[in-house]
Amino acid sequence: MASTNPARGMRDFLPADVRKRNYVIGIIKEVYECYGFEPLETPAVENLETLTGKYGEEGNQLIFKILKRGEKLRQETGDGRQELKESDLSDLALRYDLTVPLARVVANNKNELPRFFKRYQIQPVWRADRPARGRFREFYQCDVDAIGSSSMVVEGELISAVSEILKRLGFQDFTIRLNDRRVLTDILNTAGVSVDVHSDALIAIDKLDKIGSEGVSSELLSRGISEESAAMLMQIFAKTQEILNQEKEINRAIVANLINIVSNETLTELGHVLKFAANAPILIDPSLARGLSYYTGAIMEISVPDLAGSLGGGGRYDGLIGMFGKEQIPACGFSLGLERILVVMDERGMFPPEIAESAPADVLVTIWSEETVAQSMKLASELRSNGLRVTLYPEPDKLGKQIKYADSIKVPYVCVLGDSEIAEGKVTVKNLRSGVQETVTSADAAELIDRARAV
Amino acid sequence: MASTNPARGMRDFLPADVRKRNYVIGIIKEVYECYGFEPLETPAVENLETLTGKYGEEGNQLIFKILKRGEKLRQETGDGRQELKESDLSDLALRYDLTVPLARVVANNKNELPRFFKRYQIQPVWRADRPARGRFREFYQCDVDAIGSSSMVVEGELISAVSEILKRLGFQDFTIRLNDRRVLTDILNTAGVSVDVHSDALIAIDKLDKIGSEGVSSELLSRGISEESAAMLMQIFAKTQEILNQEKEINRAIVANLINIVSNETLTELGHVLKFAANAPILIDPSLARGLSYYTGAIMEISVPDLAGSLGGGGRYDGLIGMFGKEQIPACGFSLGLERILVVMDERGMFPPEIAESAPADVLVTIWSEETVAQSMKLASELRSNGLRVTLYPEPDKLGKQIKYADSIKVPYVCVLGDSEIAEGKVTVKNLRSGVQETVTSADAAELIDRARAV
């Protein structure tokens, strides 16, 4: 017999889970639409060549690849062949993030899309990562991106929108860490790290949160960065970290600290982002690196105290769309991690009661006998046309069993339609919480349940 | 340079497409929830063994298989090996329908789920089919299933719910064709078709719509059914088709016609379905077969005159869940095809204007200069807190260009915030349709735009 578990690292979402997910997604959509972002959806399956080379070496390994089909596969797997490579066997792959597909869509639809294309996209992505607590192989990203402008107004709006979402969800203690890839480049140059190992250095620096400065130092060495450079990098980050641990005027102090290292243009732009997202809790953090290789300017990451990873992150990627089209088009975006948000909200009990404890229906209609099914169905239909969510017991059964069933699925009301009620043209409404019941017309029943629901 | 097209048979959905899709999905969800169905979501990726053997031979071929990863793959693809089978190279597969995953979830969560589990599920599925007009490799199914009861009340409720959805979407001319797998079994037996080729015969009969009775006859012969049996089958179906072409009392006449062929129990149950779904436009069609192999009782399919295929279909599958668990659990479901519904609605122009012609925002706020960005952002934020969808022009630019841009994306209002407006604490609101503009406070601006929107 086949296993009934979902595949490794994948999850089934039962109704209570889906309701929580949809609640969060609903707020995210609402805020993005309020900011003028439009919905986009791309297929789960992309041509393999669309994805390869976009996420760095580590990312490439984690792409789920789809087996070629039919004749194309048979050509590769015939008898007596040489060693096969993944690219011999696969032509398609599962979506790995929402940014690369967006870049492809923008390049492909240049003439239909507005000059400034503001889109949001909430879809799952797949990564063949080793599953761990809070790390899944299928998870949702909630992305928002603005295409076509190099102005820092974009960063400001994105940060504002994301902050508003988190506030509406009930987060009050989040911080948006802000940095710029060019800050890191200038720091790496100052520390004497040669350009060809910059991206290696960034992968190591990105782990500062998780493995600490000693861990990063030794990874820097193993990635071919000299002892002197590594030490100088750690010294610079230690100094800014020292400022970050203090309370007052943090952002200004850090910028002052960077003045001799970072170019004026970058500092000015960072200043603009700070000004344009004035209401958001931003902290400049020069050690923030972000894993993905396509960022070119500002980078952001959201932290809350009780989560090791981030709730989301993003940045500017002015070079990515040019990899698909003839034209370089500036772009900047933010991605919220739905699963992380849900984990923290669950642990903190942040869901409103109507979401956390919702029932599948407002009322259950009983079925008395084979002969009265049609009457019960008619009553259900009347109650529904009054806006109630009505579940019909699916078969004639003992009344006690039907009521017990309603109670077990937390439905608060039962409408009993027995022979005597049918004869009178009435229905008995039973409130399962109070135990009170009354026999009324179906219109009154609808009103009674509806009124109680609104309280 | 990589191609910017989506993969073969896959589609990108630009904002106008997504809005139409979400409109239809919204109505489907609303009606299902009104009937007490709860949302379920399952992963896109299933263990290959979960899917194989569930969809018949043709279905098996169309499952997208995912390449094994890392060491597991290297073990298979090393040098000098024998011919490789798909199952050597693949351990996972893409979801092919929503019914098999549901059966797996029910078997896996028996104790958490209610005794009668009513769920809906709206998610994409993937089939490695040859793409054609209206046939895609990624498409959405909107499924609704009731688990745990053998009563025909379930069929009745499902048909009612689906009919209500179609009516709310504006369909008035659909028909729900109804049959029962046991009707077909009895007919096949009567025609002398031996049991071991029943499923072959069904695959042929399923094509009656598309290839006509001559086509089906010759396919029956090629599938090993005798000439006499094939002729008798075609005779039976011709007779019921003749009745179907008449207008009066169709269902009763067809049932009368089947009395000598079909068992009493099946006829009684068909009669119950007809009674319990009395408001739906049902036609009994004894030649309706449905492709999938897991059906055991009633089968249904929705037709409209201007579409060759169906808008959706379903049936009873009392044996499927038992393939995953120790226990046989009766079940019945219906699946609506989102893409088919959208195609017909598009061709008939059935979308309400606010969906068909929607703009990304109610108003665009201009940016006068680098110095006034913060004021424009503040105005945008005020308008948003009044419930408006506001898009901010992303950079300082010539006013004419900003207005032209608003017009190009169909945003009906522009709020101009120049030096003089800022000095006065006001804003100029321009109605792009009428050309009228007035200078008012930001609160008045919000009210003015909101009022116009409501008209």
Over its length of 455 residues, how does chain A's per-residue pLDDT go in tens digits?
568 999 999 999 999 999 999 999 999 999 999 999 999 999 999 999 999 988 877 788 899 999 998 877 777 776 655 677 777 899 999 999 999 999 999 999 999 999 999 999 999 999 999 998 778 999 999 999 999 999 999 999 999 999 999 999 999 999 999 999 999 999 999 999 999 999 889 989 988 888 899 999 999 999 999 999 999 999 999 888 888 777 667 788 888 888 888 898 999 999 999 999 888 999 999 999 987 778 999 999 999 998 888 999 999 999 999 988 888 999 999 999 999 999 999 999 999 998 988 899 999 999 999 999 999 999 999 999 999 999 999 999 999 999 999 999 999 999 999 999 999 999 999 999 999 999 999 999 999 999 887 66
* Mutation site, B85, B92, B329, interface A, largest A CB count within 10 A: B92
Closest CA to A3 of B325, B282, B79: B325
* Mutation site, A1, A5, A12, A65, interface B, largest B CB count within 10 A: A12
| pLDDT band, residue B374 (cuts 50/70/90) | very high
pLDDT value, residue B1: 58
Has residue B161 got a pLDDT over 70? yes
Element (H, E) at A140: strand A138-147
- CA B275 to centroid of chain Cα atoms: 27
SS3 breakdown of chain A: % helix, strand, coil, rounded to 5? Answer: 45, 20, 35
- What are the start-end ranges of the H helices in A11-98? 15-34, 48-51, 56-61, 70-77, 86-89
Integer Cα distance of B68 and B78 in angstroms: 13
Integer Cα distance of A110 and A325 in angstroms: 9
* Mean pLDDT, range B227-231, rounded to an integer: 94
Q: Are strands A175-180 and A117-126 parallel, antiparallel or unpaired?
A: unpaired
- CA A101 to centroid of chain Cα atoms: 16
Integer Cα distance of A175 and A141 in angstroms: 19
- The CA–CA distances, whole Å, from A395 to A403, B194, B369 equal 13, 36, 70
Closest CA to B317 of B125, B60, B98, B139: B98
Asked whether the beta carbons of residue A377 and residue B156 sit closer than 8 angstroms, the reply is yes
Indicate the SS3 state at residue A224.
coil
Closest CA to B296 of B448, B187, B407, B179: B179
Report CA torsion sign: B98, B101, B104, B105: negative
pLDDT in tens, A338-355: 999 999 999 999 999 989
Exposure string for B36-69, b = 16+ CB within 10 A, e = fewer = bbbbbbbbbbbbbebbbebbbeebeeebbbbbbb
Which segments of B23-105 are extended strands (E)? 38-39, 45-47, 65-67, 90-94
Asked whether the beta carbons of residue B34 and residue A5 sit closer than 8 angstroms, the reply is no
Chain B residues lying within 8 Å of A108, measured CB to CB: 4-6, 12
Q: Are strands A437-440 and A427-431 parallel, antiparallel or unpaired?
A: antiparallel
Chain B residues lying within 8 Å of A24, measured CB to CB: none
- The CA–CA distances, whole Å, from A287 to A34, A229, A269, B209 equal 33, 15, 17, 66
Strands laid side by side in the B90-94 sheet: A45-47, A90-94, A65-67, B65-67, B90-94, B45-47
Chain B residues lying within 8 Å of A71, measured CB to CB: none
Report CA torsion sign: A376, A381, A385, A391: positive
* Mean pLDDT, range B139-153, rounded to an integer: 97
Integer Cα distance of B24 and B28 in angstroms: 6
Q: Is residue B175 a contact partner of residue B313, using CB atoms and an 8 Å limit? A: no
A241: buried, middle or exposed (CB in 10 Å: 19+, 13-18, 0-12)? middle
Q: Is residue B188 a contact partner of residue B287, using CB atoms and an 8 Å limit? A: no
Nearest residue of B to residue A401 by CA position? Answer: B115
Question: B177 has which bridge partners?
Answer: B283, B301
Has residue B36 got a pLDDT over 70? yes
* Mean pLDDT, range B25-53, rounded to an integer: 96
Q: Is residue A197 a contact partner of residue A229, using CB atoms and an 8 Å limit? A: no
Q: What is the pTM of this model?
A: 0.93
pLDDT value, residue A1: 58
Rounded to two decimals, the ipTM of the complex is 0.93
* Mutation site, A3, A4, A29, interface B, largest B CB count within 10 A: A4
Chain A residues lying within 8 Å of B38, measured CB to CB: 15, 18, 360
- The CA–CA distances, whole Å, from B65 to A72, A92, B45 equal 14, 10, 9
Chain A residues lying within 8 Å of B61, measured CB to CB: 70
Integer Cα distance of A390 and B122 in angstroms: 20
Chain A residues lying within 8 Å of B381, measured CB to CB: 160, 279
Distance from CA of A384 to the nearest CA of B (A): 6
pLDDT value, residue B80: 56
pLDDT in tens, A122-168: 999 999 999 987 789 999 999 999 999 999 999 999 999 999 999 99
Nearest residue of A to residue B73 by CA position? Answer: A86
| DSSP secondary structure letters along A174-188 | -EEEEEEHHHHHHHH
Integer Cα distance of B92 and A94 in angstroms: 12
Tokens for B78?
Answer: 């090393």
Residue with tokens 């100094």: A239
Type of residue found at A66: I
Exposure string for A274-295, b = 16+ CB within 10 A, e = fewer = bebbeebbbebbbbbbbebbbb
- The CA–CA distances, whole Å, from A213 to A184, A204, A208, A238 equal 16, 10, 6, 9
pLDDT value, residue B155: 97
Nearest residue of B to residue A388 by CA position? Answer: B34
Residue A113 per-residue DSSP state: S
CATH fourth-level superfamily of A359-454: Anticodon-binding domain (3.40.50.800)
Element (H, E) at A124: strand A117-126
* Mutation site, A33, A77, A87, A117, interface B, largest B CB count within 10 A: A77
Integer Cα distance of A275 and A273 in angstroms: 5
CB-hemisphere CA count at 13 Å for A452? 18
Integer Cα distance of B87 and B72 in angstroms: 12
- The CA–CA distances, whole Å, from B168 to A285, B171, B274 equal 53, 7, 22
Domain A15-348 has CATH 3.30.930.10: yes
Chain B residues lying within 8 Å of A33, measured CB to CB: 389
Indicate the SS3 state at residue A95.
coil
Closest CA to B26 of A432, A33, A26: A26
Distance from CA of B158 to the nearest CA of A (A): 11
Integer Cα distance of A251 and A156 in angstroms: 16
pLDDT value, residue A316: 97
Integer Cα distance of A408 and B222 in angstroms: 54
pLDDT value, residue B163: 97
Chain B residues lying within 8 Å of A165, measured CB to CB: none
Asked whether the beta carbons of residue A45 and residue B39 sit closer than 8 angstroms, the reply is no
- For B188-193, the CB contacts below 8 A with 24+ separation are B188/B233, B190/B232, B190/B236, B190/B261, B191/B229, B191/B230, B191/B232, B191/B233, B191/B236, B192/B226, B192/B228, B192/B229, B192/B232, B193/B225, B193/B229, B193/B233
Residue with tokens 């910017």: B4
pLDDT in tens, A75-104: 777 665 567 777 789 999 999 999 999 999
| pLDDT band, residue B325 (cuts 50/70/90) | confident
| pLDDT band, residue B247 (cuts 50/70/90) | low
pLDDT value, residue A251: 83
The ranges assigned to domains in chain B are: 15-348, 359-454
Asked whether the beta carbons of residue A44 and residue B126 sit closer than 8 angstroms, the reply is yes
Nearest residue of A to residue B149 by CA position? Answer: A394
Distance from CA of B218 to the nearest CA of A (A): 27
pLDDT value, residue A292: 76
Integer Cα distance of A260 and A257 in angstroms: 7
Integer Cα distance of A39 and B188 in angstroms: 50
